[in-house]
Chains A and B, each alone.
Chain A
Amino acid sequence: MFDVNQIRKDFPMLNGKKMQGHPLIYLDNGATTLKPQVVIESVCDYLTNYSGNAHRGDYDLSHEVDEHYEKSRDIVRQFINAKRKEEIVFTSGSTDSLNMIAYGYGLTHLKANDEILITVAEHASNTLPWFDVARLTGASVHYIDLDETGRLTLENVQKAVNENTKIIAVAEVTNVLGYQAPMKDICQFAHERGIVVVVDGAQSVPHQVTDVQETDIDFLAFSGHKMCGPTGIGVMYGKYDLLKDMKPTRLGGGSNSRYNSCGVVTLKDPPYRFEAGTPHIEGAIGLGAAMQYLMKIGMNHIHEYEQELRQYCIQKMLQLDNVEVYNPHSMGAIAFNIKGVFSQDAASLFNSYGIAIRAGQHCAKILDEFLKVSTTLRASFYFYNTKEEIDAFIEVCKKGDDFLDAFFK
């Protein structure tokens, strides 16, 4: 049984944290998420009871670290249903993963006149590396049209693909509009044409069941901190054959098996060739704990409950004359504005009631060309949010016109 009140007890930040004198209502889960006690404890446990390096020592302590670190890798494998744990590379987050894919795979496989397809709804982290790799290789970046609501459809992918298309890099769920891309269909279509599909899972993996074998995606990037894990840890998943065919973007200790003074280097097999240097060990351990926590609740239950919250919130928002919602029918974040109020001023008003929501362009700086508004407010939920919190949020939406109240309290 999914019991949100029970769940909330697991999160110290939901039990006593205040903002502007009000109990914190955290609706910026697209940016990062709160951490349950089990994650905090797993990190402290490493720091307190077995802090040593991984893969580096011939003594019991080091072995103990290895076991925990590698166990986390296997938990990640299970979480996204990868075929083998060697397909799981620990990175510092989605941004790091996407850069590794762009420079490690894109740069070595693209040539002049090749095409990379993205959309205008992509996060900067799934846009800027491709711009640069295109510049370096003579390839070019093109945009798959979104449909009139902002959705990515198979039909539009089919229209955008041509014989030069080599890579499609898209978010499974976008961070402002929150629509789900039909990943399985896109992959099937792409693979028939030898196109590699890179998926930005930063906003999808934390909120729904992920099955990389079912969708057949080639690469997947996501961040631990957006799914109850620590900051500074994330994952790059790649099909094993693709990883074998990919160049590490960082070289150094731990990633090679031998080298000599002539500069001949033999790299280790994936994933280790991509993990040069001492990794974020407590981060990986914390991410493992977070994923176990999420799996225990059940990603399907989490997804269902979040959709229920979203529906509840949207229904109330659509009744307000002074609120404009840009994506009533998607499933991720709610993008909206309070009419006549600059988004940043509105966010301050929410802040003054203890409500955390984000204002701005949300790292999707070319999306304004689609939305025709330059900035928006974004409310994003996680499974620990409640309808009562949404009620409080709606009350502040109604006060929109008094946005300067925030300044004079």
Chain B
Amino acid sequence: MHSLNDPQLLREIIMDHYEHPRNRGLVDDDSYLKINMNSQTCIDNLDIQVKFDGDKIEDVRYDGEACAICTSSTSIMSELVKGKTKQEAQKIIDNYMNMIYEKDYDPEILEEAIAFQNTYKQANRIKCATLGWSGLVALMKESEE
């Protein structure tokens, strides 16, 4: 597990995912659900694709123009939920949102996503750190319809 108190390590996590985003790039495949997450108040603009296999999240893709915080938080999210059941993913999402909004959360389950634990100190970045995550939430909901 990562040390929660080592800003240097947390920075490196964000930079690594910003410079080498995982699961980036959209696929041309109708079996994916797709949503555009376009922050109305800032520049971040991501398309997000998720492929569900029954209850399982089989794949997560995204692409677009976004800042370091938005790109890296989405990259980490994609790695965390890929291969998980919707229920498992929901638990991760809930903990992540709790962390962002300064409520109780379990750092263990968030793995690298704990790099965003300071987001609340820069309130204008909350949108960046949650844009991709909110896209996943919307697509999970859509898959239930």
Q: Name A's B-contacting residues (CB within 8 A).
A: 341-345, 348, 351-352, 359-361, 374-375, 403-404, 406-409
| Min C-beta distance of A128 to chain B, whole Å | 16
B11/A404 in contact, CB under 8 A: yes
B47-55, B96-104, B119-127: which lies at the interface: B119-127
Q: Is the CB of B43 within 8 A of A406?
A: no
Chain B positions 64-115 with a Cβ under 8 Å from a chain A Cβ: 65-69
List the B side residues contacting A348 at CB < 8 Å: 69, 122, 124-125
- Knowing A344-B128, A408-B7, A408-B11, the reply to whether A351 touches B43 (Cβ < 8 A) is no
Q: A348-B125, A361-B43, A407-B122 are in contact. List 18 more A-B contacts (CB 8 A).
A: A342-B43, A343-B67, A344-B42, A344-B44, A345-B67, A351-B122, A351-B124, A359-B42, A374-B43, A374-B65, A375-B43, A403-B68, A407-B69, A407-B118, A407-B119, A408-B118, A409-B118, A409-B121
A359 CA to B39 CA, complexed, in Å: 14
- When chains A and B are docked, how far (Å) is the Cα of A352 from the Cα of B125? 12
Question: Are B43 and A352 in touch, CB under 8 angstroms?
Answer: no
A-side contacts of B124, CB under 8 Å? 348, 351
Q: How many A-B residue pairs have CB under 8 A?
A: 50
Within the complex, what minimum Cβ distance (angstroms) separates B132 from chain A?
15
Output the least CB separation between B64 and chain A (Å).
11
Least distance between B138 CB and chain A CB atoms (Å)? 22
Determine which residue in A342, A351, A403, A406 has the highest number of CB atoms from chain B within 10 A of its CB, and name it.
A342
> What is the bound-complex CA distance between A409 and B121, given in angstroms?
9
Number of interface residues of B (CB under 8 A): 20
| Docked-complex contact A404 and B68, CB < 8 angstroms | yes
Name the distance in Å between B12's Cβ and chain A's nearest Cβ: 9
Kindly state the separation between the CA atoms of A345 and B70 in the bound complex, as whole angstroms.
10
In the assembled complex, the Cα of A403 lies from the Cα of B66 at a distance in Å of 15
Given contacts A359-B43, A360-B43, A375-B43, contact A407 B67 (CB under 8 A): no
Set of chain A residues within 8 Å of B121, measured between Cβ atoms: 409
| 22 pairs, A vs B, C-beta closer than 8 Å | A342-B67, A342-B68, A343-B43, A344-B42, A344-B43, A344-B67, A345-B68, A348-B69, A348-B122, A351-B124, A352-B122, A359-B43, A360-B43, A374-B43, A403-B68, A404-B14, A407-B11, A407-B14, A407-B69, A407-B118, A407-B122, A409-B121
